[in-house]
């Protein structure tokens, strides 16, 4: 042990940094693989409905969810292994400095010399995201057209999938490249306190994106229509008014064109709040509960519903209970608390980045001996150096999220929605083929929402009251 310690101490600082990053990355991967193995063992061995679930889940649904989650877990193992090996090979083979040099050659041919670092950084970012998209494409195709298709969730055609993927890539670049160029410029001209200006800039960008996402970005991919006038809309508006939620509009998004999974969320700031419901959540609106009309064409034909695995959705009272839970997050300040935590973390990271950016050993560890590009510094420090901190923070936020979920359920109970939320959670678990039995360590580390049984038990106590 002493000998190995001496050998480690004799290594140059940049080698110690590089080896530490690589070792920690594999340590995290092995930990995740260990947890996934424990959970797969649960999927394999729990073949009958546990007694405590007998009243809420039939054996056919239980078996479907078990097989679905087992397939997903196996896929996650292989895709995770590939991702880890790919990342390791990129680091060992000097992929990052190679791509930076290639970016310089491309920008140089366009008339931009080494002094145009921001231009070279944007070329690097474009090439890196393109490489990531291409290497991830086979995995995404397999996940969508094999696993999701096999279990009845996929509603996309191959043409829709590729059109959607290209559109996502283009939209991402239209946002990522301008924002990155401005951030790099701010860091370069910001002086000793650039980290404050960089943090303020990212704060403004995040708030703007949250504000415009549902109005301008999401409609590029899915169709949003106002919830028609009727009993459900009136009930939603009445509930929102009862808790002083400043609701302005309610939308239904045609999520059934790409997947059978369901969701609901709200967005907006101050007095301009809007609610979005996936059509797969609504029993009366989901295209998956309807027979396709004869002669349908255009986009509807391209994303034709596969009715072999219809989803039941939720009744109006259950939809209201789900919204009561979601609005509980707003009423209890969970959204604001999450924003504050996120921004405190962002400020801390930028401050530490300002402290570390001058350390040439960090750049040398990843093959940058003669130059210290700002973008590369951001990548090294935020992605590699901060990785232990990010793992701890992620676990803490997972624990906090579960606490918030229980509080939101309790808020729905106070609105008198315990019975309807109870049945809605069972339906949503069935519709999404959620498996209700979990390994306790896997659950503790990964689940941002409490296990189904725990949530139902809390709601059951309220029902009995």
Q: Which of 317, 326, 361, 454 is catalytic?
A: 326
86 classed as catalytic: no
Residue 303 is predicted with a pLDDT of 43
Residue 308 is predicted with a pLDDT of 45
pLDDT tens per residue across span 116-153 = 999 999 999 999 999 999 999 999 999 999 999 999 88
Residue 91 is predicted with a pLDDT of 95
Residue 461 is predicted with a pLDDT of 65
Low-confidence ranges of the chain (pLDDT < 50): 293-309, 464
CB 103 within 8 A of CB 52: no
Residue 79 is predicted with a pLDDT of 96
Residue 123 is predicted with a pLDDT of 96
Rounded to two decimals, the pTM is 0.86
Residue 345 is predicted with a pLDDT of 95
């Amino acid at each position: 042990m002493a000998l190995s310690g001496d050998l480690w101490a004799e290594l140059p600082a940049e080698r110690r940094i590089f080896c530490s990053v690589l070792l920690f990355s594999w340590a995290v991967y092995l930990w995740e693989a260990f947890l996934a193995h424990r959970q797969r063992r649960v999927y394999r061995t729990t073949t009958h409905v546990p007694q405590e679930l007998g009243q809420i889940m039939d054996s056919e649904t239980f078996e479907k969810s078990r097989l679905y989650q087992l397939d997903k877990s196996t896929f996650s193992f292989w895709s995770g292994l590939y991702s880890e090996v790919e990342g390791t090979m990129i680091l060992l083979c000097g992929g990052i400095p190679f791509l930076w040099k290639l970016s310089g050659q491309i920008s140089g041919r366009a008339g931009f010399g080494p002094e145009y670092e921001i231009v070279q950084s944007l070329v690097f970012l474009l090439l890196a995201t393109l490489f990531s998209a291409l290497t991830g494409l086979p995995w995404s195709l397999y996940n969508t057209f094999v696993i999701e298709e096999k279990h009845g969730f996929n509603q996309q055609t191959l043409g829709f999938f590729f059109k959607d993927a290209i559109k996502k890539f283009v939209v991402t670049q239209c946002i990522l490249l301008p924002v990155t160029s401005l951030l790099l410029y701010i860091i370069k001209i910001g002086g000793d306190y650039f980290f404050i200006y960089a943090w303020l800039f990212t704060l403004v960008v995040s708030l703007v994106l949250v504000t415009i996402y549902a109005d301008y970005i999401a409609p590029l991919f899915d169709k949003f229509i106002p919830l028609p006038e009727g009993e459900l809309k009136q009930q939603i508006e009445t509930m929102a008014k009862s808790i002083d939620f400043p609701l302005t509009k309610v939308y239904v998004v045609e999520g059934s064109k790409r997947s059978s999974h369901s969701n609901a969320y709200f967005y907006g700031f101050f007095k301009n709040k809007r609610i979005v419901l996936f059509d797969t959540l609504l029993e009366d609106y989901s295209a998956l509960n309807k027979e396709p009309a004869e002669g349908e064409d255009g986009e509807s034909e391209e994303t034709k519903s596969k009715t072999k695995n219809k989803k039941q959705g939720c009744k109006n009272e259950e939809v209201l209970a789900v919204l009561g839970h979601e609005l509980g997050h707003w009423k209890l300040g969970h959204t604001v608390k999450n924003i504050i935590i996120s921004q405190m973390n962002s400020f801390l990271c930028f401050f530490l980045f300002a402290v570390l950016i001058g350390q040439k050993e960090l750049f040398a560890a990843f093959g940058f001996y003669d130059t210290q590009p700002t973008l590369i510094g951001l990548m090294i420090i935020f992605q590699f150096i901060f990785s232990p901190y990010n793992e701890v923070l992620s676990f803490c936020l997972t624990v906090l999220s579960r606490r918030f979920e229980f509080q939101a359920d309790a808020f729905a109970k106070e609105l008198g929605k315990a019975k309807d939320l109870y049945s809605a959670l069972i339906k949503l678990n069935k519709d999404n083929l959620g498996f209700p039995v979990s390994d306790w360590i896997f659950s503790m580390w990964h689940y941002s929402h409490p296990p189904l049984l725990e949530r139902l038990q809390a709601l059951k106590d309220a029902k009995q009251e």
